[in-house]
Structure 1
Amino acid sequence: MIPPRMWGDGCGIIKVTTGRKGKVMLTLSDVEQALDEYIERFIPAMLRWKYHLILVKGGPDYPHLPEQSHLAHIVNGVFGLTQLVKFLVIHDVWVPGLDVEAFRKALALYTVHEVHKEQDVEFIDASQFSIPLERLREEYERLGLDSFARVDEHLMRAANVHKRSTRHGDLLVSDDPTASRLWLLVRLADTFASVKTPEEAVASLKGYLADLGPVFVPQSPPGKYVLYYHEIKDVRGVLTNTIHQAVAQQLADGMGFFPLLYFATGTLYVGPACHEATDHARFIEDVSGDVLGSLAQGSGADAARDGLRRQKFDFERYVYAFSSIDALLELVRDETVTSKPDARTAVQEIDGLVAKRQELTDEWRETVEQRLGILLLDPKEHRTFNELWSLVRRYLLYVDTLLRDLNPTENRLEWFIRTFALPQETTDHLRQEADIWAKGGIGKYVLVIAYHFLRGPDFADRPAEALPPEMVVERLHRRVLEAMRQIDTRAGRQAAVAELGLRQDLEAYLREHLYLSFAPVSHLEADGLASYTATKRKGHTGRICSICNRYSEYTDKLRTGILDDFGRVFSNRVLPAVEAPQGNRLWCPVCQLEFILRKVTGMGLPSTAHYKNSRRIYLYVLPTFSFTPDHIRLFEPLLKPFHHVTSLPIRDYGKDDPGLPHYWLERRALDQTWVEDLQEVLARKAAKIAGWGGRDFVGERVSLGRIVGQPHYYLITWEKAARDSESDDARIATRTEAWTKAVFAAVVISGLTSCKLYVTERPYLPISDPAELKATITLDGPPPALRGLLGERTDFVSLYGRERGQRSGLERALDLSAALWTVTADVHAPNRSTKDKYVAERLGTLNTSPLAGATFYKEFGRLNDGQSPYPVLATACEV
């Protein structure tokens, strides 16, 4: 054996080992290079040949299986096999016959392993695998695979033959000496692509892995590596993804597990067969700590802003669980600058102290200026200074409460004295009178601190009155920020988390829902039966979360600023009311944590919007059937516009700014050109919205939020945000309008990614196992009016269609959606406009008239003096 040589690939050190007889084995660089070439060349080729519009699983032909397109099946298998090969290379596992050439051949053969399901194949005999060799060669060459790897036709046909078949003669006829090994690699890829759950993956893969090499043979003594998985059969949103990532990180760091496949509910790993026993309780604690630690990865500005209490000059306790000192002080600075100053504040503050405290004499009031080194200037004559004094005091009141909450052991007055270097005489008097100035909870001593700041060295160059208020507050902010960064806030944050019950409830949730295949411990938490069966009184059921229906010891009134929804329009009362009269309904800390994470990742409503007039629909982008890290590389350029706030325009805004329905109806082809047009429109809209405020833009928007780590699914929100005072009904979406746009968005995203989608108004995915969803797009309770758009069934969109010589279900849905929105926008009289909510009327015509297109065509002519519709509108009427 030649000693290995080492080098870095940007991700760490890679071993390049040599096999038997000095033959150089596969390297990670070889794997990445082959995969890059495959993605660049053959995914576009498969798109050209409509692989993304043809089902290989699901539909009427395979009703027991969820739908999976030919493209998704091939991509999943290629990426799954690649992930396994990366593991073999990184861990120096030698597999006989596995070199660069064999890896490339395996990818190429797997790409044509479903030819036996093509509708145009004329079989030689009754077997579904009796494919003419010429047809296999034709498929291989039209995809361009002949320049990627040279294989003979018998190997191509053998790749189509499943394990249980008796027709494996092509393996004997093939000229390739590694035919059996290549067939095994194809079967591994096919299994990676076909398994729907982690548990199924372990059962289906272990036999093939044992055939691959002795390190996977589960005998006594056991092989070196075994398959494991973790699973959480509960899909919430950002929190579930975060938990999956935390579990995977713990298993990778602590036990050397290597992730192979990511499912919506869990992860499949390969890891050491022998490992130390897992302390389940400690593992849960570590995962919970990582999840709570992720709160600090974003600024949390939106969530923190909702927790700012202006009357008490502080933040609600939950804000401290995730928001950094920098972010909190920035919010305080912004709030201070935008507040209205009061020139009478200083005089009123001191006079108020004297009025409320009987022990304060007139002499105390008369000498306060001399003792503390301040001047109570006339509010009218010195208005500018007094207003600045008011603003600085306001800012420092927030600083005082931040010190109180985040560093409770600190003497706040002493901290201010140190930070602002007050004169010694003033310091002595303040210390003597500390109880007077601190009584009542709010540190009124900041009034004195504020004065000395304005008259101190920070304004030695120019008086504070000569500067704009924003500049004065900014100087104060920089000084405070530097000092606050030196304090330890861990105790305060831990106290806030403990008070909310976030850690305790998250650990209880994980004990019940997290399943580890190598440590199958099940712990059932107390259920809510007692709360449900108790005699109902006014108010809410005390321990039942109104969002997820979990029993929790830590339920609390929900905060509408975090939820971005009504707090009283649902309750667990026996007789439901339109609005619960006893205050906001209850939620558990796990639900609160979910919506805090959504805020932190930028998925909340804009700060100036209000949930009362806003409408939101969630689009869960689910794997079909699994993801790998390479899926991110594939999806990233496709989903990049959604990481920013963008929109799916359904109207044309001039010749240079056509909407998506216009682009679709011009060609009606779900191909690479459509994808490029779509990307261009999304990028253009994202750029415009960025200029209008980005995530603070109020209007119609589609957003993915910030993605951290490996997603097990994506959560995209369609929303039409509106302000509380909005009076234009065109800016407030109706339910039918919102759902019609969300369906259009879902079809567009599914066509873009070949993923399954679940569309719902509910905050969570209301099913425990997404693997059982059969249709490509599932709709959760859409309005009945959509039946004209979706056909007989209004709760799903199927990909099926081309298998019987028709357009695919996605193409039909895009046809009808684009046509409907084109008619809604453009069938009107000259110099008149339409509103998006008029789509309900157009749907009514579509549902009741078999000649709806002719009706719209005729209406346009009647409203426009007999003119014919322009070409795109004519196509819409024809569709």
Structure 2
Amino acid sequence: MSIITFVDDLLINFEELTHNGQRLADMEAKAYNFHLGRKKESNGLKVEFLSIEQKKKLTRNLLDQSMREHIRSGIHACLAMIHYLEEYEIGFTEEEQKLCMIAYVLHDMHKLTATKAMNSSEYHIKLEEITLLSTRLCERLGVEPPPAEFIRVAAVSSYSNKRGDYSALSGEYRWSYLADWVHLMDQIASITGVAEFQNSTTLNGLKKKLQLVLPPRLAESMRLEYHALQEVRGVITSQLHNGLALFMKQHGFFPWLRFGDGTLYFSLRPHELPQKEVLIEDLVKVFFQSVGDSADNVDMERLLDRSTFRSQTLAFMLYQKAEDFARLFHAIFLKPSAKSKVFPADKFNEKGLALYGCEDLDGLYTRLGVDALLEEDIREKWSYTARYLAALQRLVQRTLGQKSSDALLSIADYVGVEAEDILERVPETLQTNSRRYDEAIWLSYRYLMIARVNGKSVAQVPAEDWREEVRNMAARFLEGKVTPEIALSIVDQELKIAQDLSLYFQEQLTLSWERQRILNELSEKEWQKAKTRSQKSICNICNRAISPGVEKKVKGSIIQDEVNVFSNRLLPKKNNVSALHWCGICSFEYILRQVYGLVAPGDKKNSRRLYLFAVPAHQFSDEVMAEMKHDLGHMFGSIHVHHRGRLKHAWQEPYVSAEESKMRAHIREHFELHSEYFQTELAERERLPSTGELLRTSPLGNVITFFFDCYSHSIERTRDEAWMKGMTVALSLHKLYGFRMLVTEKPFLTLSDIRELRYAIQLDSPPFKVGQLLPAMVDRMTTDFVIPIDYVDDMLHKLAYVWEVNQAVHPYDYLKPTDKHVSSILQQLEVHPIAGSYYFKRLMSDGASVSESVLRSCKALDKIYGGVEMELAKKIAMASVTLFEPSSRISGRAHRYENLFRLVVKGIKEASTLSELKGMVMKRLERLVGQNAGRVKLPVDPEDVKHFVELVYEGFYQDRCGGNLAKLNQKQNRLADGIFFETHLLVRKNQTDEEPPTEKEQLQEV
């Protein structure tokens, strides 16, 4: 078995390993906050009496990391290093590697609450327990577990005095050397980011650990370098990290560990590293090259403004050859418009005709020499040609820096058509109007009249052949007029991206061998302007200074959806995004998102988009990144919470059933199945469904941006639904890959430092109802909307229960495939203390079949939110069933289940005394004996009646309602829901399928 196969199997065994019911992989390795609410006492003091200073001492300011990710990070980092060292033959055998990895997997078993420590040391665990766990861990691996003494001593720090287990080990292996590898893996997996290396303590400690495992000849030549990037933009950030890793490989440095804020490089044969300016110059070139390589992902419709026939600046970044633009125009104008058969009648109204000095369209045709009796086929070809030549005219005008008239004449000259008189007859006001293309209309008519295709006139050839002829003509005409140099010159002139990228990299990038940064300082004159004045040289999104010469207004066509702007300054009060001033970097980020096909689908008025920024916990190697690329590179579609269509695979299934051990496998399978289903459907339709959810990912890098869209062309998608599903996706991705994630509606990360992502999940201003699902502030110890790592499983279960109840209460509607009604579920959770009982009763009253998973979900929601209310309902239900066990028949079920409770409440409202209430219950039981409604437990014990009445009167009316009749009216129906639910559970448990006894049988019993 190869070491890679061994590691895969070892990690699978580790994730299945349990000890006394506790799963090792689900433990916390690191946690940002020590949650006092879960610790009853600390140092002999009760938590509620701790001072703020004492609580601070209990807080562990670490970044959230699960034990699963801690183990995987260390092992994969070790594997990457072993792979790099293969050519150096360091004498680290495969058998030794396996022993190290087994010991590392179990090095934190002392954190298990199920283990028993000996003496006063948490590391002094019984050897029998270690042997038991290591034997189970090594099942089906084909290796013998290492001695328990080695596993125990390898878990102890190198500086500890508790290392006596070495004396019990044989001389078969270099145990001390193997322990050094275990300590190296542990330190690597605990490093949170490159920022730790900048104070040199962590870096020096890592070097010392490496020196212990490397031969002296290699340790002397060892060199560690890093790059750091504090800010996170999105695609730019990912590509910057990837570009730097590529260049460092070329200079002999292996990108060993990737963190959210940079990469650590390792080398034993380093080359001379370039200066920062040279490196940045090469990076800028790589950025432009990556844009060109991804041209196929871009929607061509976004590369041309149809209203002006002007090519977008992005088109010059993607296309730098004549054939590219010829193909672009052909693809865009290929589909004839609805009015092409009557073209160009729709282009000239009375005002336009007056400018020509004509009274009607016939007069205009006569003046321009056009035959008014053209067939529909010719008019369609004319429409295509006119639009094509208009785009060609605008293109040449920009690439050659010509006037509009000169560009038209150059086209006319190439196709052999006289056009001077066209310029004389078309009014100058129309020629200068960017939304008019009159010159191209008349030029294209003349071109149609003289052109030949394979010796035939245009009227004699199919429309497809004519379009191909126009495309080929344009490609030949543009030769020499569109070149890479001209295209990049236009990009640089209009966006100054190369200049801005260079400045941005100088500002943000820190290299271990050259830490100096050039800050982008704002002009004092600019930032001191009053808030009532415009600050045109400061970016509205990121507050960077806009470079001189950059076009300060970003056109709406660059933006893929409505922009959510955050700023600490006064912004223009306009809906048009072109009023905002963006720097070149913010513009380029949006351009890259279009390049990689991350455009928001649907109508932006109806759709919702969330951005999920993910960083590793705490790092990953290139091998892990390659695995994630395989998983995430084709991840389309999203979570689905209904059994619908051909896929009966709902996201919440394992959480609401008894198969929780399969959660990760289920989530992965869910993503894969729906991805395949989505792509099959996309291939059949050749377009997205009109309504749905879509999850896509940016190019993978040290930081990954997920784009989650709840979109529709006609149905409103609510914020509550989008955030509920977005939070479900975020928690699922965290469960699969251990990412720390920020979920936000803002297109850029709102944090200035990646280290501020401390918790497993952080939500940026979620809707109120969604925010109420999070752990209480006293538990999460912050007012921020966060999910600490030790609450992740609780939140996954809570979401699953909500989705399962939603699926039952609001079945999937194929005509309106949304889950906007989940908002009503959240509303009930907010206002109804036992909302699970409310929905269970609603389903039962409607005669619906309630599955075990729905029943379990309702019960779980009551347990989470019910508290005292649910306990009271359970007690009253048990006391009621002790007196009268109602029939579970559907008809009249609610009345029977709540019969005695409603009776006592009615008596309380009528000011009855306790003795009168007891008498009312006794009389009601006597009447029930003669009815076919259930079984009265005869003989009736007066003490049982007294207990029941006191529960309702004292426990509910006096304690819960404070003796207030208004509150009694308000709360009685809510408690009745819980009584109905608990009564049904008791009846289902106690009753058989036999019919209840008849009146005669009950009288005989009396």
SS at match of 2:285: helix
Native 8 Å contact 1:603 1:703 kept in 2:
no
Alignment of 1:584-733 (within 5 A): 584-606=579-601, 609-639=602-632, 641-642=634-635, 644=636, 646-653=637-644, 657-662=648-653, 664-667=655-658, 669-671=660-662, 673-675=665-667, 677-687=669-679, 689-691=681-683, 696-705=688-697, 707=699, 711-723=701-713, 726=714, 731-733=715-717
Native 8 Å contact 1:229 1:266 kept in 2:
yes
Native 8 Å contact 1:568 1:579 kept in 2:
no
Letter of the structure 1 residue corresponding to residue 185 of structure 2: A
After superposition, the Cα gap between the structure-2 partners of 1:635 and 1:279, relative to the gap in structure 1 and judged at 3 Å, is closer
Find the aligned partners of 2:816 and 2:844 in 1 and give their Cα distance: 16
After superposition, the Cα gap between the structure-2 partners of 1:589 and 1:331, relative to the gap in structure 1 and judged at 3 Å, is same
- Unaligned 5+ runs, structure 2: 36-58, 198-202, 358-363, 778-783, 861-1006
Find the aligned partners of 2:191 and 2:61 in 1 and give their Cα distance: 13
What per-residue deviation string (whole Å, max 9, x for no partner) do you get for residues 654-700 of structure 1? Answer: 68534323454234515255245424542354235524757755433
In the alignment, what sits opposite 2:129?
135
Find the aligned partners of 2:346 and 2:116 in 1 and give their Cα distance: 96
SS at match of 1:587: coil
- Give me the TM-score of the superposition, normalised by structure 1: 0.81
Say which of 60, 77, 82 aligns to 2:34.
60
Say which of 248, 252, 274 aligns to 2:249.
252
Say which of 832, 852, 856 aligns to 1:849.
832
Q: Check if 1:99 corresponds to 2:72.
A: no
Native 8 Å contact 1:343 1:384 kept in 2:
no
Find the aligned partners of 2:743 and 2:761 in 1 and give their Cα distance: 8
Find the aligned partners of 1:383 and 1:835 in 2 and give their Cα distance: 44
Find the aligned partners of 1:431 and 1:66 in 2 and give their Cα distance: 72
Q: Please report how far the alpha carbon of residue 737 of structure 1 lies from its aligned counterpart in structure 2 after TM superposition.
A: 2.1
Q: Please report how far the alpha carbon of residue 601 of structure 1 lies from its aligned counterpart in structure 2 after TM superposition.
A: 1.0
Alignment of 1:785-804 (within 5 A): 785-793=769-777, 795-800=785-790
Native 8 Å contact 1:560 1:566 kept in 2:
no
Find the aligned partners of 1:830 and 1:211 in 2 and give their Cα distance: 61
Q: Check if 1:810 corresponds to 2:827.
A: no
Find the aligned partners of 1:384 and 1:518 in 2 and give their Cα distance: 68
Letter of the structure 1 residue corresponding to residue 7 of structure 2: Y
Alignment of 1:573-584 (within 5 A): 574=570, 579=574, 584=579
After superposition, the Cα gap between the structure-2 partners of 1:384 and 1:678, relative to the gap in structure 1 and judged at 3 Å, is closer
After superposition, the Cα gap between the structure-2 partners of 1:38 and 1:183, relative to the gap in structure 1 and judged at 3 Å, is same
Find the aligned partners of 1:675 and 1:722 in 2 and give their Cα distance: 25
After superposition, the Cα gap between the structure-2 partners of 1:583 and 1:466, relative to the gap in structure 1 and judged at 3 Å, is same
Q: Please report how far the alpha carbon of residue 73 of structure 1 lies from its aligned counterpart in structure 2 after TM superposition.
A: 0.9
In the alignment, what sits opposite 2:221?
224
Which has more radius of gyration?
A: 2
After superposition, the Cα gap between the structure-2 partners of 1:829 and 1:617, relative to the gap in structure 1 and judged at 3 Å, is closer
Q: Check if 1:742 corresponds to 2:726.
A: yes
Find the aligned partners of 1:530 and 1:519 in 2 and give their Cα distance: 32
- Give me the TM-score of the superposition, normalised by structure 2: 0.71
Find the aligned partners of 2:445 and 2:709 in 1 and give their Cα distance: 44
SS at match of 2:709: strand
Alignment of 1:465-476 (within 5 A): 465=459, 469-476=463-470
Alignment of 1:281-320 (within 5 A): 281-299=277-295, 302=298, 305-320=301-316
Alignment of 1:340-739 (within 5 A): 340-341=339-340, 345=344, 378-406=371-399, 422=415, 426=416, 440=431, 444=439, 448=443, 452=447, 456-460=451-455, 464-465=458-459, 469-478=463-472, 480-481=474-475, 487-527=482-522, 529-537=524-532, 540-553=534-547, 554=550, 556-566=552-562, 574=570, 579=574, 584-606=579-601, 609-639=602-632, 641-642=634-635, 644=636, 646-653=637-644, 657-662=648-653, 664-667=655-658, 669-671=660-662, 673-675=665-667, 677-687=669-679, 689-691=681-683, 696-705=688-697, 707=699, 711-723=701-713, 726=714, 731-739=715-723
Q: Please report how far the alpha carbon of residue 208 of structure 1 lies from its aligned counterpart in structure 2 after TM superposition.
A: 0.8
Native 8 Å contact 2:546 2:583 kept in 1:
yes
In the alignment, what sits opposite 1:872?
853
Find the aligned partners of 2:169 and 2:82 in 1 and give their Cα distance: 24
What per-residue deviation string (whole Å, max 9, x for no partner) do you get for residues 28-49 of structure 1? Answer: xx9xx41233225533652464
Find the aligned partners of 1:834 and 1:275 in 2 and give their Cα distance: 58
Q: Please report how far the alpha carbon of residue 780 of structure 1 lies from its aligned counterpart in structure 2 after TM superposition.
A: 1.6
After superposition, the Cα gap between the structure-2 partners of 1:833 and 1:860, relative to the gap in structure 1 and judged at 3 Å, is farther
Find the aligned partners of 2:211 and 2:755 in 1 and give their Cα distance: 26
In the alignment, what sits opposite 1:210?
211
Native 8 Å contact 1:260 1:270 kept in 2:
yes
Native 8 Å contact 1:42 1:143 kept in 2:
no
Q: Please report how far the alpha carbon of residue 262 of structure 1 lies from its aligned counterpart in structure 2 after TM superposition.
A: 0.7
Q: Please report how far the alpha carbon of residue 139 of structure 1 lies from its aligned counterpart in structure 2 after TM superposition.
A: 2.0
Native 8 Å contact 2:728 2:799 kept in 1:
yes
Q: Check if 1:124 corresponds to 2:118.
A: yes
Find the aligned partners of 1:871 and 1:366 in 2 and give their Cα distance: 77
Q: Please report how far the alpha carbon of residue 773 of structure 1 lies from its aligned counterpart in structure 2 after TM superposition.
A: 3.0
Native 8 Å contact 2:316 2:491 kept in 1:
yes
Letter of the structure 2 residue corresponding to residue 298 of structure 1: S
SS at match of 2:498: helix
Native 8 Å contact 2:633 2:697 kept in 1:
no
After superposition, the Cα gap between the structure-2 partners of 1:674 and 1:500, relative to the gap in structure 1 and judged at 3 Å, is same
SS at match of 2:825: helix
SS at match of 2:789: coil
Letter of the structure 1 residue corresponding to residue 223 of structure 2: V
Q: Please report how far the alpha carbon of residue 318 of structure 1 lies from its aligned counterpart in structure 2 after TM superposition.
A: 4.2
Letter of the structure 2 residue corresponding to residue 227 of structure 1: L
What per-residue deviation string (whole Å, max 9, x for no partner) do you get for residues 221-259 of structure 1? Answer: xx3221111011011111101111122222322x32211
Letter of the structure 1 residue corresponding to residue 284 of structure 2: S
Q: Please report how far the alpha carbon of residue 827 of structure 1 lies from its aligned counterpart in structure 2 after TM superposition.
A: 2.0
Q: Please report how far the alpha carbon of residue 837 of structure 1 lies from its aligned counterpart in structure 2 after TM superposition.
A: 2.4
Q: Please report how far the alpha carbon of residue 877 of structure 1 lies from its aligned counterpart in structure 2 after TM superposition.
A: 0.9
RMSD: 4.0
Find the aligned partners of 2:295 and 2:215 in 1 and give their Cα distance: 49
Between stretches 524-533 and 175-184, larger displacement belongs to 524-533
In the alignment, what sits opposite 1:21?
none
Q: Please report how far the alpha carbon of residue 560 of structure 1 lies from its aligned counterpart in structure 2 after TM superposition.
A: 3.5
SS at match of 1:163: coil
After superposition, the Cα gap between the structure-2 partners of 1:112 and 1:695, relative to the gap in structure 1 and judged at 3 Å, is farther
Native 8 Å contact 2:564 2:745 kept in 1:
no
Q: Please report how far the alpha carbon of residue 451 of structure 1 lies from its aligned counterpart in structure 2 after TM superposition.
A: 5.1
What per-residue deviation string (whole Å, max 9, x for no partner) do you get for residues 275-323 of structure 1? Answer: 5464322222222222233221212764663352224322233442345
Find the aligned partners of 2:811 and 2:342 in 1 and give their Cα distance: 58
Native 8 Å contact 1:101 1:149 kept in 2:
no
Q: Check if 1:79 corresponds to 2:76.
A: yes
Letter of the structure 2 residue corresponding to residue 245 of structure 1: N
Native 8 Å contact 1:403 1:412 kept in 2:
yes
Q: Please report how far the alpha carbon of residue 838 of structure 1 lies from its aligned counterpart in structure 2 after TM superposition.
A: 2.5
Native 8 Å contact 1:303 1:562 kept in 2:
no
In the alignment, what sits opposite 1:806?
none
SS at match of 2:264: strand
SS at match of 2:824: helix
- Unaligned 5+ runs, structure 1: 1-29, 359-364, 370-375, 801-808
